[in-house]
């Protein structure tokens, strides 16, 4: 088994700063970096820090920026869409080139075709240099719920009830939509580097299952254990129980 890099930090703030530094490093080093990015609660601090780094001179203008997922059935301008989230948390504050910003179109009529188009767009960009991920309490990555084959690519999916409830905070307390388009574990695994972020005690069991349990499609994040360049960056509450 390829050893993963485990970075345990004290708290959410340190995780966010370190994650932003790793992303910034890619942006500075790579002439035309391709990033695959998450939404949700976990990366908010990382985006805040990236905006600060941009104010200090960090440029996003040469980067090609993809997102992991988008809800199906929401128009792109819907405030709870992931397109709106990315605009609000990052893109409106930095110098990203709008022609290089990509998200699945959750309002597409033919969602299978839209997923295939998105997968082809990632391929046409030359694949992903750095994929940043959060983790669901059930071990999901992107919106790849337990049971997803490790080689699945970008496609429309149905969300678990637990995921829809966890994300109800973005929908005024109502469950999040039933379906989404997500980049698949196969696409994530093809990224040249993968950074998994985890913060808070509610994620501890999923982190332990992903890193120390069986490698199984019942825990989608366990797929990452075979990746040649995989870092888990976790705070003590989420990762402190790992044997290291
Ligand atoms: C979001 C995504 C999801 C989240 C996961 C954790 O784009 O792909 O896998 O990373 O649901 O969400 P938070 O960070 O809100 O706990």
C-alpha–C-alpha distance, residues 65 and 38, integer Å: 11
Q: At what angle do helices 82-89 and 44-55 cross, to 10 degrees?
A: 40
> Which parts of the chain have pLDDT scores under 70?
1-3, 244
Q: 3-class SS at 161? A: helix
Catalytic residue among 105, 145, 170, 190: 145
67 given a catalytic annotation: no
Q: Which residues line ligand 1 (CB under 6 A)?
A: 38-42, 68-69, 134-136, 140-143
Cα 21 to ligand 1 centroid, rounded to whole Å: 20
The whole-number pLDDT of residue 77 equals: 86
Neighbour tally for 57: CB within 10 Å: 7
Cα 61 to ligand 1 centroid, rounded to whole Å: 26
Cα 159 to ligand 1 centroid, rounded to whole Å: 12
The whole-number pLDDT of residue 238 equals: 98
Parallel, antiparallel, or unpaired for β 155-158 and 179-182? Answer: antiparallel
- The preferred substitution site among 41, 42, 162 for testing ligand 1, maximizing ligand atoms within 8 Å of CB, is 42
The whole-number pLDDT of residue 1 equals: 55
- Closest atom of ligand 1 relative to the 37 alpha carbon: 7
Residue 5 backbone zone (phi > 0: left; psi -120 to 50: alpha; other: beta): beta
Q: At what angle do helices 12-29 and 44-55 cross, to 10 degrees?
A: 50
């Amino acid at each position: 088994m390829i050893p993963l890099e485990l970075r345990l930090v004290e708290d959410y703030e340190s995780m966010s700063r370190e994650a932003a530094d790793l992303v910034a490093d890619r942006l500075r080093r790579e002439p035309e970096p391709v990033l695959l990015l998450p939404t949700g609660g976990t990366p908010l601090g990382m985006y805040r820090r990236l905006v600060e780094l941009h104010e200090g001179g960090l440029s996003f203008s040469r980067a090609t920026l993809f997102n992991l997922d988008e809800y199906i059935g929401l128009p792109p301008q819907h405030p709870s869409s992931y397109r709106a989230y990315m605009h609000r948390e990052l893109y409106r504050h930095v110098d990203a080139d709008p022609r290089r910003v990509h998200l699945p179109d959750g309002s597409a009529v033919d969602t299978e075709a839209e997923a295939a188009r998105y997968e082809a767009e990632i391929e046409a960009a030359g694949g992903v240099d750095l994929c940043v991920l959060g983790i669901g309490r059930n071990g999901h990555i992107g919106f790849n719920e337990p049971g997803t084959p490790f080689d699945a690519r970008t496609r429309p999916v149905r969300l678990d009830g637990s995921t829809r409830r966890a994300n109800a905070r973005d929908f005024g307390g109502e469950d999040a939509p039933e379906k989404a388009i997500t980049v698949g574990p196969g696409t994530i695994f093809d990224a040249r580097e993968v950074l998994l972020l985890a913060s808070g005690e509610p994620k501890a069991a999923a982190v332990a299952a992903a890193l120390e349990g069986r490698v199984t499609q019942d825990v989608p994040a366990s797929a990452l254990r075979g990746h040649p360049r995989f870092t888990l960056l976790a705070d003590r509450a989420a990762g402190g129980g790992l044997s290291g």
